Amino acid sequence: MDRAENYAEKYLSHLLDGDRLGCSSLAKAYLETNHSFIDLYEEVFKQSLYKVGILWEQNKISVATEHIATAVTEGILNEFFAQIIPSEKYNKKIVLACVENERHQVGIRMVADVFEMNGWDSYFLGAGIPVNELVKYIHEISPDLLAISFSVYFNARNFFEMIWKVQADFPKLKILVGGQAIKYVKDEINKEFNNVVLIPDLYFLERFIKSLKTSIPT
């Protein structure tokens, strides 16, 4: 087992115990020797939460335990937020939201943080935003990008409707999509939509953001 896997296993154990202090201490210990927040998010938080999801699907843990794991991780993201903000801002904006009726928002929150790390202003709307309200908000702040998280396959219809409705009003707005359920619909996405980018992980996202500095005027 490599170092990241070892931390992920320990973090998962703390999550299942509802031990926020243990999770927080472990995350800080990880950063003492590996200063990459993206590594922490991708290799420890993401991997652990995916396993929590699998345990819940197999009825090996309760809904309450799954919710606690999510809440603990979001709390730790809040602890680190001040540390990830760079001194130099990029003067660009992104709106981030989950598919309507979804409640899994930790992944898209980490995406928001990666944009913040790169000097963007992220407007994280979280879970449960109705698509009509999302469209209104985009009109209000005129973001440079939109990101949508799609985690549950049964919400595929809502996911596609959200993109159709946004693109009806904003055909030139680039939309980033990611989440556990994307793998089931990626061929349909590529067939149905233009100006939509699939984000498989935070490493890809980091490279994508850096590439935008040469393609989006400041």
Residue-by-residue DSSP string for 33-82: H---HHHIIIIIIIHHHHHHHHHHHTTSS-HHHHHHHHHHHHHHHHHHHH
Structural tokens at position 7: 């931390």
Place of tokens 């919710």: 67
Residues 76 and 54 both lie in one domain: yes
Query: Quick one: how far is CA 30 from the chain centroid?
Result: 20
Residues 10 and 64 both lie in one domain: yes
Q: What's the CA angle centered on 106, arms 58 and 113, to 5 degrees?
A: 150
Of 37, 60, 84, the last residue of a domain is 84
Residues 169 and 120 both lie in one domain: yes
Structural tokens at position 154: 């049964």
> For 64-104, what is each residue's pLDDT tens digit?
999 999 999 999 999 999 999 998 888 999 999 999 988 88
Residues 198 and 99 both lie in one domain: yes
Instruction: Return all residues near 108 (Cβ < 8 A) that are at least 6 apart.
Output: 96, 97, 98, 124, 126, 147, 148, 149, 178, 179
CATH number at residue 47: 1.10.1240.10
Residues 80 and 107 both lie in one domain: no
Structural tokens at position 92: 């660009």
Count CB-CB contacts under 10 A for residue 82: 7
> For 4-61, what is each residue's pLDDT tens digit?
889 999 999 999 999 999 999 999 999 999 989 999 999 999 999 999 989 998 999 9
Residue-by-residue DSSP string for 103-142: ---HHHHHHHHHHHHTTPEEEE--S---HHHHHHHHHHH-
> For 99-145, what is each residue's pLDDT tens digit?
998 888 999 999 999 999 999 999 999 888 999 999 999 999 999 99
* Burial of residue 80 (number of CB atoms within 10 Å: 0-12, 13-18, 19+): middle
C-alpha separations of 188 from 96, 125, 157, 160, 164 in Å: 22, 26, 12, 10, 13
Residues 178 and 202 both lie in one domain: yes
Residues 51 and 109 both lie in one domain: no
Residues 77 and 158 both lie in one domain: no
CATH number at residue 137: 3.40.50.280
Residues 149 and 178 both lie in one domain: yes
φ, ψ of residue 175 in degrees (nearest 5): -120, 125
Residues 98 and 190 both lie in one domain: yes
Residues 67 and 97 both lie in one domain: no
Structural domain for 142, as ranges? 93-212
- The total number of structural domains in the chain stands at 2
Residues 129 and 69 both lie in one domain: no
Of 52, 84, 116, the last residue of a domain is 84
